């Protein structure tokens, strides 16, 4: 009986370890999450749109190098980052939930705001990866 219990415990441990190490699902990024990142984050963390101009462009150009060190969106998801993916997603989730990102001052220069639905889509998505 002890042998059966030990075998089940070992299998359960392997299953849990496999779930934690699973690769992120790039398909889960497409749709509303990708649109929100493209509209609100790519100016600094990704490819800056050619249409971005004025004060928003000047600010994004100034912030890009530092923003890319945190994470880069140039190649899509999974993002390049100085952090492992779980830490990066936790950072994104926290900053988006606290409304630190995208910065309100930058969004004002750009003339757009992140909607609550976009914010929630990102938060929910970071919790499923």
Q: Supply the pLDDT for residue 18.
A: 36
Mention every residue, 6+ apart, whose C-beta is less than 8 A from residue 39. Answer: 112, 114, 118
Q: Residue 22's pLDDT is what?
A: 65
Q: How many CA atoms lie within 13 A of 88 on its CB side?
A: 18
Q: Is residue 20 exposed (0-12), middle (13-18) or buried (19+ Cβ within 10 Å)?
A: exposed
Summarize pLDDT for 16-58 with one digit per residue, the tens.
333 445 667 888 999 999 999 999 999 999 999 999 999 999 9
Domain boundaries, given as residue ranges, for the chain: 28-128
pLDDT(15) > 60:
no
**Residues 53-97 pLDDT 10s:** 999 999 999 999 999 999 999 999 999 999 999 999 999 999 999
């Amino acid at each position: 009986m002890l042998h059966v219990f030990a075998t089940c415990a070992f299998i359960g441990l392997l299953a849990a370890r496999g779930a934690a190490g699973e690769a992120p699902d790039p398909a889960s990024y497409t749709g509303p999450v990708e649109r929100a990142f493209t509209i609100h984050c790519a100016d600094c963390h990704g490819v800056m749109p050619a249409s971005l101009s004025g004060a928003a462009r000047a600010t994004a150009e100034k912030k890009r190098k530092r923003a890319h060190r945190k994470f880069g969106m140039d190649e899509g998801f999974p993002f390049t980052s100085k952090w492992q993916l779980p830490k990066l997603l936790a950072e994104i989730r926290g900053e988006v939930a606290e409304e630190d990102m995208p910065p309100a001052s930058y969004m004002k220069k750009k003339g757009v705001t992140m909607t609550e639905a976009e914010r929630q889509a990102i938060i929910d998505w970071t919790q499923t990866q």
